[in-house]
A and B are shown apart, each in its own frame.
Chain A
Amino acid sequence: MSGSLDSYLILSGLLFAIGTFGFLGRRNAISMLMSIELMLNAVNLTIIAFGAFVKPLNVHASVIALIVIAVAAAEATVGLAIVMAIYRNKKTPLVDEYDSMSE
């Protein structure tokens, strides 16, 4: 099992699905951001898995994964800063209330 690419890919797919459910289902904005991090990690796992099992992609995968991690960090920073700014305005972290763009 650990020697097959498929199992790692299915594992990452499951992680991605869990992240999707969390993103679509939770009410707290920070929970949504945590789910996004899970999804990004699932993608990272896919990349590394490919790098491990497909010889020509080996080093490239690692570099790409590094860059993804850096970008994820930047995105988390800005996202959380935004959430805090909104929280200051709306006094609540629940995305139900962030609907001033609605009809």
Chain B
Amino acid sequence: MTALLPLIPILPLGGFVLTGLLGRRYPEDAHRIAVWAVVAAWVVASIVAVMALLHASPFGTAGAGITLWTWIPANGFSHGFNADIGLFVDPLTACLLIVVTTIGMLVHVYSIGYMAHDPGRWRFFAYLNLFMFSMLVLILADNFLLVFAGWELVGLCSYLLIGFWYPRRSAAVAAKKAFLVNRVGDMGFALGIMAVWTQLGTLNMQAVFARFGSVPHEWQIAIALLIFCGAVGKSAQFPLHVWLPDAMEGPTPVSALIHAATMVNAGVYLVARCNPIFGAAPEVMVVVAAIGIFTAILAASIAFTQTDIKRVLAYSTLSQLGYMFASLGVGAWTAAIFHLMSHGFFKGLLFLDSGSVIHSVDGEQEMRKMGGLARKIPITYATMLVGSIAIAGVPPLAGFFSKDEILGGAFKNGFLWVWAIGFVVAGMTAFYMFRLMGMTFWGPSHVDAEVEHHIHESPRSMTGPLIVLAIPAAVLGLVIGFPPETGLLHQWLAPVFEGTIAASGHAEAAYNFFGIDGALAIATTALVAVAIVVAWRLFGVEIPSLGLRAQPRPDQVREISARRGLAALYNGSFHKWWFDDINNKLFVEWGGKLAAAAFWFDRTIIDGTVNGVGTVTAGAGGWLRRVQTGRVQNYALGIAVGLIVIAAGYLYLAIR
């Protein structure tokens, strides 16, 4: 069984190589190898994941792995360093495998239709396969160095895919920004890996977790913080969140796959995987929770005013990722993974839907130029509605269960402030999602005249994945998360987290519907309902099957947002709270001046010194050259002078 493990990343790698080498010559068929490779990988991954989740042998409850070969055999030194290429699967890995391979496969199929007219599609599929390979390596790795390799590779693929339409300057700039901001986080991660090695002498994750208690407490905090730094960069938490909205410059399948469902989950996966490290440093867990929930409310507040459909979804992703980190921080580990899975499905669905919408209005992404599309693109509309209800947290869809577990965990583990902010954000999420629905699908149409004639539903290769994704978005919560806290997912993941949960002392009490848990759930649902109603009133609604029909009230929206206090908030939200401007000022302008000064120093003083030595030497040589006149008498004079000096010396010594 473990022999199947290497097959999972190798299939997409083979797809990448073949598509990269042969794709240019067969542009129409470029997708075939790539898509089949990913489908095959999905099949193998599903088998492995199911076996691992059911705790079947050889995985059992602790998971099992296979070492392929020794990558860096450097054991001879006193501080031996040994890094293997090894793969490891336990129930946590299995959950991620399901998400990554399923959504990856569906996005590949979707891209067949979406990129049908793009001349560079062979490149696109090659990069997508490379991304699948990198992400799978990241998930399956059994030592930190291989995780880091996968980490960097997904960053590279993100750069390649965001800047896929590289002739467009904004895309190239966004790709560069994503890569650089990621790099900042990666540096922290690398330092964390180095710290792990100096303290424990090994990079194998299971070995590190087993012995982590022997590390001095300050080092435990440092290592946890540094690893979290990497997660902050990759999962776009504050303050490294600035790259994710700009990453929407890439094609929509890229946004769906990388920036909603897989790559940004890498940070969450890392923290969850390293739960013994974080469990040993409760101070860092508070930091994690704080940053997570702050990002959640920050992003939600920005999503209120954005008008690009993909930007709203991007900020929504940031907000939900914040939820996941908050959940990790308060100690509700399984809830975070649950939210990761359900979010992956419904955010992937929402992004692919938005891609379908954009495709139908000929590439227009501004929501102010959409409207009234509900009747014209019914399949897209229906699936997007399902996704919006799921993310808003309306029971019994997936989002309700996962979000509720997070908030319940926060409340019960004593993090009341996290619960309070999360409660507010739940309402904000519902509001801006239904604002998006209203502006896009309901109300009068603001679409450009010439585009309006040929608004058409997307081809089947695009709507197929939408329908397939809508199913888990709707029912995943019921299947694996119900009953809460004792459902299937908890049974599967219990062995992974039980050590940390036991050490932290927060025993997961039984779910008590008629006690505190029920009260929290009802409160959240009530707030969500209020938010949805407010959104409907302002932005219109039209669901014939439910008999809901109302027109949007643009004048009310304008009036509300123009009220004095709110105008300042509106401005701040619209300008993304000026984070991009601060970064630009600090790093680009002042950093640029610092770099210019350093360049001047290097060129003038250091190069000047080195060149000066050369010039002095050459000058001295040129000057001394004149001693060689070629005339015997000059040389004889030299001999005479030398003779005089020696003889006078001797005479002086003899007389004294």
Contact = CB atoms under 8 A, between A and B. Distances in A.
Interface of A: 20, 23-24, 32, 95-96, 98-103
A98 to B, nearest CB: 7
Given A24-B636, A24-B640, A96 B625 contact: no
Interface of B: 625-626, 628-633, 636-637, 640
9 nearest CB pairs, A to B = A102-B630, A99-B630, A101-B630, A103-B625, A103-B628, A102-B629, A99-B631, A24-B637, A24-B633
Contact of A96 (B631, B636, B640): B631
Nearest to B622: A103
Contacts of A103: 625-626, 628-630
A18 to B, nearest CB: 13
A79 to B, nearest CB: 12
Contacts of A20: 640
B631 A102 contact: yes
Contacts of B626: 103
A103 to B, nearest CB: 5
Nearest to A32: B633
Contacts of A96: 631
A96 B636 CA distance: 14
B640 A99 contact: no
A78 B419 CA distance: 113
Nearest to A21: B640
Contacts of A32: 633
A71 B415 CA distance: 113
Given A24-B636, A95-B631, A99-B630, 15 more contacts: A23-B636, A24-B633, A24-B637, A96-B631, A99-B631, A100-B630, A101-B628, A101-B630, A102-B629, A102-B630, A102-B631, A103-B625, A103-B626, A103-B628, A103-B630
Contacts of A95: 631-633
A98 B629 CA distance: 10
Contact of A23 (B625, B629, B631, B633): B633
Nearest to B624: A103
13 contacts: A20-B640, A23-B636, A24-B637, A32-B633, A95-B631, A98-B632, A99-B629, A99-B630, A102-B629, A102-B631, A103-B625, A103-B629, A103-B630
B625 to A, nearest CB: 5
A78 to B, nearest CB: 15
Contacts of A98: 630-632
Nearest to A23: B636
Nearest to A96: B631
A103 B621 CA distance: 12
A73 to B, nearest CB: 22
B300 to A, nearest CB: 81
Contacts of A100: 630
Nearest to B644: A20
A103 B634 CA distance: 14
A13 B473 CA distance: 118
Contacts of B630: 98-103
A102 B640 contact: no
Contacts of B633: 23-24, 32, 95
A102 B628 contact: yes
Contacts of B629: 99, 102-103
A22 B636 CA distance: 12
Nearest to A20: B640
A99 B637 CA distance: 16
A102 B635 CA distance: 11
A13 to B, nearest CB: 11
Contacts of A102: 628-631
